[in-house]
């Protein structure tokens, strides 16, 4: 890892702009064009404190349909919450502009930018966007928060994920203090994996569902981000933002459809269930058969599939386990 001042120099050069300490600027990076010739620009809002310090990257919309993260950053920009005392905050509300305008997780050729890192200059569109982003934006960051929601109508109860066995990302996740904190192994070619191999810890905030705004998920995201900024001593501390409760989970598992049919969940998202308790039911569309889905272990419901039509083996409910079990 480079020393702090290499990434937080007196004057930060980004996208052909120079940003001095104490300054704020919005930089437009032109990564690509639409077939119409319209320039696709990715905007980076840069907030620099008067004192040197860490460089924190906050990015949303890596999956273009996961609008919850975009709304968290939009709200924070609008409320003027980035009054930085030290260090630099880089805010990228929408990384995958292509996906956003097509209401899609991916770029138009169906490739996922978050499976294309670190990317190549002459590769597919997703790979090129990843490459430019790494070279122009990521290169400045010491650490970051990547904002996501569940995909395919799966609703994540607000949770922050750190990289298994990475104490620096765990420290960020602890500071964020979402309702649930859990370890997660990095996925090959994901942004988090590319960052990890370059010594940069990234935590992933997963909350709500794609193409939908969930007020609780958005506000928990705003509060958690402010707690991280306070933890890093980048903004003024405010006791009111202290988390009321945060449950640490050790592992998680998907409960899958035992048969094809219509799924109805009965355990509320975020609730604690005991081993053997019903979580939902999958019924045939003709009303002749149904199968209950029960919790195999004690745990918390941290994601519920809101799409009722399921095939055998589809993910229904994500169950998080705490060890030792919390006292409730």
Stretch that binds Zn ion, among 118-126, 143-151, 159-167, 247-255 (CB under 5 A): 143-151
What Å distances lie between residue 246 and 123, 151, 163, CA to CA? 42, 23, 18
Give 66 or 155: the residue with its C-beta nearer to Zn ion. 66
Cβ 61 to Zn ion shortest distance, Å = 9
Cβ 32 to Zn ion shortest distance, Å = 20
Locus of tokens 């460089």: 55
Stretch that binds Zn ion, among 61-69, 251-259, 280-288, 315-323 (CB under 5 A): 61-69
Structure tokens at 134: 């790494």
Give the list of residues 6+ apart from residue 295 with CB closer than 8 angstroms, or none: 255, 267, 273, 274, 275, 276, 277, 279, 319
Whether 49 contacts 22, CB under 8 Å: yes
Neighbours of 32 (CB within 10 A): 15
Size of the site for Zn ion (CB under 5 A): 3
Give 21 or 318: the residue with its C-beta nearer to Zn ion. 318
Among 48, 63, 140, 192, binds Zn ion (CB under 5 A): 63
Report the alpha-carbon distance of residue 163 to residue 108 in Å, rounded.
30
Give 148 or 161: the residue with its C-beta nearer to Zn ion. 148
Give 66 or 209: the residue with its C-beta nearer to Zn ion. 66
Stretch that binds Zn ion, among 115-123, 147-155, 174-182, 290-298 (CB under 5 A): 147-155
Give 21 or 148: the residue with its C-beta nearer to Zn ion. 148
Give 148 or 189: the residue with its C-beta nearer to Zn ion. 148
Report the alpha-carbon distance of residue 279 to residue 274 in Å, rounded.
10
Cβ 66 to Zn ion shortest distance, Å = 5
Among 140, 142, 148, 227, binds Zn ion (CB under 5 A): 148
Give the list of residues 6+ apart from residue 124 with CB closer than 8 angstroms, or none: 107, 109, 111, 116
Q: Which of residues 64-123 bind Zn ion (CB under 5 A)?
A: 66
Report the alpha-carbon distance of residue 84 to residue 43 in Å, rounded.
19
Give 107 or 273: the residue with its C-beta nearer to Zn ion. 107
Structure tokens at 97: 């502009």
Cβ 114 to Zn ion shortest distance, Å = 6
Whether 236 contacts 38, CB under 8 Å: no
Cβ 194 to Zn ion shortest distance, Å = 15
Return residues touching Zn ion (CB under 5 A).
63, 66, 148
């Amino acid at each position: 890892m480079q020393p702090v001042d290499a990434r937080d120099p007196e004057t930060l050069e980004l996208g052909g702009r120079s940003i001095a300490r104490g300054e704020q600027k919005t930089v437009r990076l032109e990564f690509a064009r639409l077939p119409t010739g319209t320039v696709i620009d990715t905007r980076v809002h840069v907030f620099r404190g008067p004192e040197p310090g860490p460089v924190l990257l906050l990015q949303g919309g890596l999956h273009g349909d996961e609008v919850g993260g975009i709304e968290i950053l939009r709200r924070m920009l609008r409320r003027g919450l980035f009054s930085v005392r030290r260090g630099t905050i880089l805010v990228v509300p929408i990384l995958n502009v292509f996906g956003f305008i097509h209401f899609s997780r991916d770029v138009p050729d169906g490739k996922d930018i978050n499976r294309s890192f670190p990317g190549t200059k002459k590769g597919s569109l997703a790979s090129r966007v990843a490459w430019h982003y790494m070279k122009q934006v990521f290169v400045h960051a010491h650490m970051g928060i990547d904002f996501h929601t569940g995909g395919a109508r799966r609703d994540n109860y607000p949770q922050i994920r750190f990289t298994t066995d990475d104490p620096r990302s765990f420290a960020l996740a602890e500071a964020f203090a979402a309702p649930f904190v859990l370890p997660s192994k990095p996925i090959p070619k994901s942004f988090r994996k590319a960052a990890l191999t370059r010594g940069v810890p990234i935590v992933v905030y997963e909350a709500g569902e794609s193409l939908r705004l969930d007020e609780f998920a958005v506000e928990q995201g705003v509060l958690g981000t402010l707690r991280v900024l306070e933890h890093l001593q980048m903004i003024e501390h405010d006791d009111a933002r202290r988390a009321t409760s945060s449950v640490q989970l050790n592992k998680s598992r998907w409960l899958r459809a035992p048969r094809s049919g219509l799924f109805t969940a009965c355990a509320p998202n975020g609730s604690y269930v005991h081993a053997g308790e019903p979580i939902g039911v999958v019924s045939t569309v003709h009303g002749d058969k149904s199968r209950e889905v029960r919790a195999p272990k004690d745990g918390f419901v941290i994601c519920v599939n809101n799409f009722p039509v399921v095939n055998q083996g589809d993910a229904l409910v994500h169950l998080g386990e705490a060890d030792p079990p919390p006292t409730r």
